[in-house]
Chains A and B, each alone.
Chain A
């Protein structure tokens, strides 16, 4: 749903007349007092010194005090070696005036530590062994600096530029409001000595009409990292920017502050709806990652010496408004190591219900039950599959979530049953802003339980959002989340059934009349300020909602919850979309790097609104977007309420056919998508990934963002240019071959391939050496295809081998956790194709069978023999297309869960 109330929309439209973000609504670094203060620090003047004599080393924990020689404030540094090649560094005040916020609920567990030992020590520093691979940490004392070494290589240095800064909590000194206190302060010479210059914005800050009271004063933290040998850094979503992060020397740093940005602009470092403070650094030699665990407003500066004659190096600097420094240095060395290291900390992608990988039809709004019914019927009439139809805010009774409009959605269960009869599902929106209305049960309960976020004066925080005056539940409270979850029970949330799922929008949180369209930083969540927890709010909303969906089924069913705001760890909770984009070619194009960036930091289930949310797409753009979206993880069309209808069949039979074909391609590949999500759930690997993840030494892939891989085996280069006649795809790997999935034509790797395109083209290639299962009987919905047979696409590499996997379960419950699934390894080698059980302890039965095997790059066999587990053998019919070297084995017929071998003689 769009940001802003209608009135603001109107105002903006009239006063600017263009479709672009009003940058004046959002802070630049210069306008954010702590960012300005911190950025003004000069490198090479670090006041911090390590007090080596304070060092204490238990088996797995090293502590050490740092002192700021300017103000004598001491910090406590903790250093841990974590399992899986991760180093954690925590820096907090030794004796803070009051506790500083440490982010809870993001790490899935207290990380497992490993032993540390001192290798050597003198007055200048300490050398510690990190246990494996000759890795060491060197702590230098004056100024404080930390280097992580492997052999003689420096992998990463901390405070090497001396930009560590830790604004200690202090008593307020500029006591204009209290002249008595001022006198006392002045009379006290000891405090005078420590006093630092009071700058504007330390104790109060005003942006536009909003004043931040800052009762705790300055509290920012900052640290710099040097990455020798690195020229490419990625991650820190969400930004509408290139995949490869840019240097920020000549502009603002990348900002991480969850905001509802109305009509966001492309290619700039402005903050958007979500934040994952994780950066991935990559070079041909190594991949590493930095996880900066802080939920306050954060800015990230990047500079690089690229272009100079020196050894390449990238310098990064993180600045957060409050909290502590808590960093996880993930040392790789491969991209997949970094993914699993990060997953070991924050968890993996939730395993979505299979149906949620199908196509989703959304619009703000489907007006009433009749509308829903006719759109549903339209899909059948035009033979286009879909799994979910969505209801935006207008379905509620006056924007009171958990309710239905009594006229337009008078009998929701009837509607849901109608969808269920077709094995389809629905998503209804539940936003976190709660209408202040004494006749609204949800509001009354939250208020009476004291569950609302409080304003700085202690009253319930109120802001303006869709329902008018609204309050915001304090989702940081576990008891609030538990209560919220209980509201999804079928007897609480009336008119709901098991095929209704949930969408959390506006959870940055969006506050139309708040500073930067969000919550005041001096609002409070118990002991903490909103300032401390801001970027975490959206994660908590989704967490409570997902928990609600799990609980309503008695813990049996997997939830599906879409969120707009997110943080590190949100991958565990559901899907994310890129928010309110626009019907422009640039927005189609940027959906690729935006989702790739999220995938690199754990969030695989990502998608952009097909067609673009604002404005109305040209038919060509709409078709291209359906085609591109068919090959992105979350596949949902969505449209603003003020745009004309754009259901797939409204653009003439030719375009309907093009869209139908794109959606059908998606459905044939659902088995592959599903098993990739299973893998993402197990390993943390992204489903949609940049080429360099699989070809880490191929420099040509490092900045590619117009093509990507799905899993390891499908390369996609969607058409995202208006009037395109062709695209040039880079096919990686000098020992690889790639097969066009539509024509089966074989292409060599390590080349730029020009592919002429027509309106029906979606350039996709299958890697030689892979086996991909598809279901070719595309039906009304994914659930209708549950028992359908598989076709295996075996693409041979130059060694004439291939392998792949096949994962099958019930598609919607947590029973896979009880080992109720089929997981098989498919291998082609020495002219034998076989299926071997990868999980012998798992049990599941399927009706699905193997109906066809297509071998790409094959030679003609004289006979094909199938041998089943019971020892029976039979000859199979086959068809060989010599011009394309494609062998099709006809109806082998074995069950998809069985052991078998197939010999090609």
Chain B
């Protein structure tokens, strides 16, 4: 109640001010009984009373800051100069429902001029202009109903309600903004910490990498040495080539003697059957025929024949072997203990080197990942950094959308098919508000060409959440993403300055 009284008082005051300024010129010719100018009403200067407040329409043209300058044009005089200076008309022809001025300035209260504007005072709400084509078109545009002073529309004055709703809304917005900014400050602080943490992590990793590099070099050197040692040993073995052959010969002879049970200088079927077995079936005694085959189909075999036949078979070691022995008698040099040790050492060092190399690679990859992550623009205070690594979901009809900021956007149908709607591209907000929009590009290709992409608009809110997803054109998605870090102090100033 008190508020209404206050409003009335305000209205009365404005009206009296207007009168003081002699602004209440008559509205002529804008209506007869049926809105048709009658013969008599055509004569200028006769005020016509139509609906509740026709006069309202006549001074509605004034009010806002930028309109204050225009007030002087409408002082009642004999004549009126179009604001663009193009023409002088009698003052009765101002607001007489006929467009005389090219710029529409003579008809601020009617629909007569194609490019005219009508001023809604909207006391209790926000004043604003509407195109003059919306005056008396049967649709209520001004909340104070002033635009429909001569139409069939029955408009209510809704300014007070609207104003109240708007005020409540703005208050809510302000609260959101306050809360958002507070949260944002936290997130900025966290962001800075996170940034530092990440930087520290990076430095740590880089240190690890450096250490690993030292280690790597050391291991490379060690491996190199072990390899050299192995080679030397091998060379040494090879260097005594006569020895090797001798060794081999004696081995041939010693095996021959081993097999030659009766030591008569030749091998027989029985001797073979007694000492030689199949590699894969040691338990079974060879058959007569098998033994005979090993003796190259002869019943006896001397050393020289043995060396050129059975010795080869035995050294190959893949079919038969000497009973109760391991492996083939050949490659006896590998059994050299020095060589064996050198070989094992080289192998050991190779394994070690590989491990260190792998570790080094892993660390480097982590570094490059982290560097890539840190190279992204997270806002002036790294306030968007915390979003990296998070994902936000929203279900719209039959699809679930997932936004993973700075990574990707996906869409999953209820059937379970997941489609990429784009990979992180860049910030695309206007220079004034660079961090208000981001784009994800090169998603799944579209059959008509091109690929899916998503534009994400960031708006201020107290929670971080995906608010809406739309696909206005095929394969072009629009998301509304709310987060405190999108809150801007500048918004708050605008809010404060709004005339409510």
Contacts and interface: CB of A to CB of B under 8 A. Distances in A.
Contacts of A870: 39
A891 B100 CA distance: 10
A37 interface: no
B139 A874 contact: no
Contact of A642 (B98, B114, B474): B474
Nearest to A9: B447
B44 to A, nearest CB: 10
Interface in B160-209: none
A54 B316 CA distance: 117
Contacts of B42: 874, 891, 893
Interface stretch (B30-38, B53-61, B369-377): B30-38
Interface in A597-644: 641-644
A784 B476 contact: no
Contacts of A852: 98
Contact of A787 (B35, B112, B114): B35
Contacts of B133: 383, 777-780, 784
A180 interface: no
Interface in B454-485: 470-474, 476
Nearest to A892: B42
Interface in A325-383: 367, 371, 383
Interface residues of A, number: 39
A416 to B, nearest CB: 16
A9 B35 CA distance: 56
Interface string A1-32: 00000000110010000000000000000000
- Which of B34, B37, B133 is the most central at the interface, judged by chain A CB atoms within 10 Å of its CB? B133
B479 to A, nearest CB: 15
A784 to B, nearest CB: 4
Interface in B109-130: 111-112, 114
Contact of B473 (A10, A408, A645, A891): A645
A645 B474 CA distance: 9
Contacts of A788: 111
B112 A777 contact: yes
A97 to B, nearest CB: 52
Given A421-B139, A779-B134, A367 B35 contact: no
A274 B139 CA distance: 41
Nearest to B398: A407
A868 interface: yes
Contacts of A644: 473, 476
A249 interface: no
A870 B134 CA distance: 34
B96 interface: yes
A895 B114 contact: no
A893 B42 CA distance: 7
A851 interface: yes
B448 interface: yes
Interface in A73-110: none
Given A423-B139, A851-B98, A13 B447 contact: yes
Contacts of A787: 35, 151
Interface in A410-428: 421-423
Interface in A761-794: 776-780, 783-785, 787-788
Contact of B137 (A9, A642, A664, A780): A780
B265 interface: no
A872 interface: yes
A148 to B, nearest CB: 55
A interface: dominant SS: loop
A816 interface: no
Contact of A777 (B36, B114, B448, B472): B114
A214 B94 CA distance: 78
A788 B139 CA distance: 14
Interface string B75-99: 0000000000000000000001110
Given A777-B111, A847-B34, A849-B37, A645 B448 contact: no
B397 A408 contact: yes
A9 B447 CA distance: 10
B474 A641 contact: yes
A408 to B, nearest CB: 7
B47 interface: no
A9 B42 CA distance: 64
B39 A779 contact: no
A890 interface: yes
B425 interface: no
A891 B139 contact: no
Contacts of B112: 777, 851
A418 to B, nearest CB: 12
Contacts of B98: 851-852, 890-891
B473 A784 contact: no
A367 B470 contact: yes
B interface: dominant SS: loop
B429 interface: no
A366 to B, nearest CB: 9
A525 to B, nearest CB: 38
A843 to B, nearest CB: 16
Nearest to A777: B111
Nearest to B100: A890
- Which of A645, A778, A780, A891 is the most central at the interface, judged by chain B CB atoms within 10 Å of its CB? A891
Nearest to A848: B36
Nearest to B90: A877
B139 A407 contact: no
Contacts of B476: 644
B39 A872 contact: yes
A669 to B, nearest CB: 14
Contact of A849 (B36, B137, B151, B448): B36
Contacts of A872: 39
Given A421-B139, A847-B34, A849-B37, A780 B134 contact: yes
A785 B114 CA distance: 13
B138 interface: yes
Contacts of A371: 470, 472
A367 B472 contact: yes
A891 B96 CA distance: 10
A851 B29 CA distance: 12
Contacts of A847: 34-36
Given A383-B131, A408-B397, A421-B139, A642 B37 contact: no
A870 B29 CA distance: 20
Contacts of B29: 891, 893
A872 B40 CA distance: 11
Nearest to B38: A893
Nearest to B116: A777
Contacts of A849: 36-37
A851 B110 CA distance: 13
Contact of B114 (A367, A423, A778, A891): A778
A851 B99 CA distance: 10
A408 B470 CA distance: 12
- Which of A422, A644, A872 is the most central at the interface, judged by chain B CB atoms within 10 Å of its CB? A644
Interface string A121-165: 000000000000000000000000000000000000000000000
Given A891-B37, A891-B42, 13 more contacts: A9-B447, A13-B447, A13-B448, A367-B471, A371-B470, A383-B131, A423-B137, A642-B448, A645-B472, A780-B134, A780-B139, A852-B98, A891-B29
Closest 10 pairs between A and B when the two form their complex, measured CB to CB: A784-B137, A891-B98, A642-B448, A893-B37, A644-B473, A779-B133, A645-B473, A642-B474, A779-B137, A847-B35
Interface of A: 9-10, 13, 367, 371, 383, 407-408, 421-423, 641-645, 664, 776-780, 783-785, 787-788, 847, 849, 851-852, 868, 870, 872, 874, 890-891, 893, 895
Interface of B: 29, 34-37, 39, 42, 96-98, 100, 111-112, 114, 131, 133-134, 137-139, 151, 397, 446-448, 470-474, 476
22 contacts: A13-B447, A383-B133, A421-B139, A641-B474, A642-B447, A644-B473, A777-B133, A778-B133, A779-B133, A779-B137, A780-B133, A780-B137, A783-B138, A785-B137, A787-B151, A849-B36, A851-B97, A890-B98, A891-B98, A893-B29, A893-B36, A893-B39
